[in-house]
Each structure stands twice: as C-alpha cells, then as structure tokens.
Amino acid sequence: MKILVSNASPYSAKVRMAAAYAGLKFDSVSTDTNNPAPEFLKANPLGKIPVVIADDGTVVCDSAAIVQYLNRVSSNKLLPRNPAKRTEAEQLEALADGICDCALVHVYERRFRPEEKIHQEWLDKQWTKITRALDVLNANPPKLPSKITAGQIALRAALGYLGLRFEGKWEKGRSKLVRWVKRFDEKFPEIAAYAPKG
C-alpha cells in the first residue's frame, strides 16, 4: 500500500499514524501538491493529500474516508464496534480535523496572499474556533487506554500540526493538553514518529 503524503500535513500524519497503529504495511510517497505529478492527479483529481493506493489498485482520498477504509481492512482496529463508542471516536476525529481546517486557513492565507490582502478578521475568526475547541479538550482530555481509536490519533496529529506551525501559541493555559501529547508519545512512540514535521 502506498500513502501519498506531505510530512507537514496533519491529515497525512493522521493517516500514517492510523495505518501504523492498525499494523498495516505501507510506503510513504512524498508528494508536492504545488507541482503535482500525473500519478498523483490520476489518483486524486482534486490534487489533495493524503491518498491511499492499495495493492489491489483501490484508491481512497480524504483522510476521514481513508481512516474508515483502514479500519475495514484491519478488522476494526481503529474504531470500536459499539455504536456509541464509535460515534464518540468519530466525533473526536471530526473535532481534530476541524482544528486542522482552521489552522490551515491561517497558513495558506499568509503563504499565498500578499501582505496587504491578508484578511485578519477572517484569521481571527478561525483562531477563535481553534481556541474554543482546544479549551473544551483541555477541560476534559480524551483518555489514553492501551487500545486507542482514530479519534485520539487524529487529535495527536492536530496538536502536532499546531506545534509545528503555532508553537508557543496554542499551549498557553492548556497544560492538560500539553501533558496529554507527552503521554501519548510515551505510550505510542512508534506512531508518534509520524506526527507532522517541517
């Protein structure tokens, strides 16, 4: 199985962490979305990462859809069978992905717009969404049992991305979440290795 990724992408991190946790073998293929190769655009005409290309040729795009696929092919190693617990895990994944969506607005706005066209009010609104979500998570951090779900994995990827792009900003007043990341990395070092990197 190939996973087309960018090392800095939180969604790529989530998918690789999930695949590694599920015990699935894969090759990471570094992919430049700004200069897309034909194989990449054939796999995902939207030009977005991550993308999974399975051994049998199956192509799966979008990190949430990929997690569902990885869960199926690993006999439910990423999501609980119990409906209520599964919904809880999926909701945590959605919250973590939403944090990433808002953070990427910041990164892309500053990377691709001239300084005079940056819409600060829009960025402030996105940051408010991030801080609200982080405050909720800090008040009641997800448990870290020996068997985790795609929800905890997605949150670790999201916090890794914030650490990469907003180091020193997201952590203030959120000591529980900072400790949560440290505990996650101590308990699951083999998957924490896939956290976003610059």
Angle at 181 between CA 104 and CA 91, to 5 degrees: 60
Query: Are residues 23 and 43 located together in one domain of the fold?
Result: yes
The residue among 73, 104, 119 that closes a domain is 73
Q: Is residue 38 part of a domain?
A: yes
pTM of the shown model: 0.95
Tokens of 121: 């009010």
Contacts of 63 (CB under 8 A, 6+ apart): 11, 12, 14, 15, 50, 97
Q: What is the mean pLDDT of residues 19-45?
A: 95
The residue among 14, 38, 73 that closes a domain is 73
Query: Are residues 116 and 165 located together in one domain of the fold?
Result: yes
Q: Is residue 160 part of a domain?
A: yes
What is the per-residue pLDDT across 73-94, written as a single tens digit (0 to 9) for each?
Answer: 999 999 999 999 999 999 999 9
What is the per-residue pLDDT across 100-140, written as a single tens digit (0 to 9) for each?
Answer: 999 999 888 887 777 888 788 989 999 999 999 999 999 99
- pLDDT given at position 95: 98
Q: Report, in angstroms and rounded to the nearest whole number, the Rg of the chain calculated over CA atoms.
A: 17
Cα–Cα distance list, 157 to 57, 113, 175, 192 (Å): 27, 26, 18, 8
User: What letter represents residue 48's amino acid?
Assistant: K
Q: What are phi and psi of 3, to 5 degrees?
A: -120, 115
Q: Is residue 198 part of a domain?
A: no
Query: Are residues 186 and 117 located together in one domain of the fold?
Result: yes
Average pLDDT, the chain: 95
70-104: burial string, b at 16+ Cβ within 10 Å, e else? bbeebeebbbbeeeeebebbbebbebbbebbebbb
Instruction: Give 41-108 as a DSSP string.
Output: HHH-TT--S-EEE-TTS-EEESHHHHHHHHHHHTTSSSS-SSHHHHHHHHHHHHHHHHHHHHHHHHHH
In total, how many domains does the chain have?
2
* CATH at residue 110: 1.20.1050.10
The residue among 40, 73, 106 that closes a domain is 73
Query: Are residues 89 and 187 located together in one domain of the fold?
Result: yes
What is the per-residue pLDDT across 133-173, written as a single tens digit (0 to 9) for each?
Answer: 999 999 999 999 999 999 999 999 999 999 999 999 999 99
Tokens of 180: 């949560």
Q: Is residue 197 part of a domain?
A: no
Domain assignment of residue 169, given as a range: 83-192
Q: Is residue 15 part of a domain?
A: yes
